[in-house]
Amino acid sequence: MSDLYVTWSEYHKKIERLAVKIYQANWEFNQIVCIAKGGLRVGDILCRIYGKPLAILAASSYGGSQNRVRGEITFSHHLTMTTETLGNRVLLVDDLVDSGVSLRESMNWLEERYGNELEEIRTAVLWYKAHSLITPDYYMDYLPDNPWIHQPFEPYEQISPTELAASYLVKEA
């Protein structure tokens, strides 16, 4: 497996280009649901661009050494949202689709809890890996060699508050 390194600038440009791709599809949606943690930044920027409410579905499936070991997916008990209802056309976003399990299970989670409200769920991600069991509706990059993606916020997973504070003490001295 190769590695793909992404800068903050590249990351934000991909989100902007994804917003344009969704816009060009002429699909009207009334709610964005992001899968947290990875989809938080994507969902935040898309909700600002589109002026649509953002709901958050917390999910976790990676852990272990350097947060690279995929395990069983765990979801929050509730969807966090500021609207009274979910809406009937939902854009479900994440940063990437790797195996496809998180995206598929997130769709199932929404259907189980909000199926009576939902007419359609479409999915959007920045990166779509070849070994995914599902194809997202919107994506920026198709990755045929399934690389490990090093996103710009990854360093925060490797530093403790103590180390961060110490680095600022040195800089301020």
CATH of the domain at 48: 3.40.50.2020
Output 66 or 155, whichever has higher pLDDT.
155
Expressed as residue numbers, the domain containing 93 is 3-172
Is residue 75 a contact partner of residue 56, using CB atoms and an 8 Å limit? Answer: no
pLDDT per position as a tens digit, 81-106: 999 999 999 999 999 999 999 999 99
Tally the domains of the chain. 1
Q: What is the secondary structure of 29-86 as a DSSP string?
A: -SEEEEEETTTHHHHHHHHHHHT--EEEEEEEEEESGGG-EEEEEEE-SS-B-SSSS-
Q: Taking 70 as the threshold, does the pLDDT of residue 115 lie above it?
A: yes
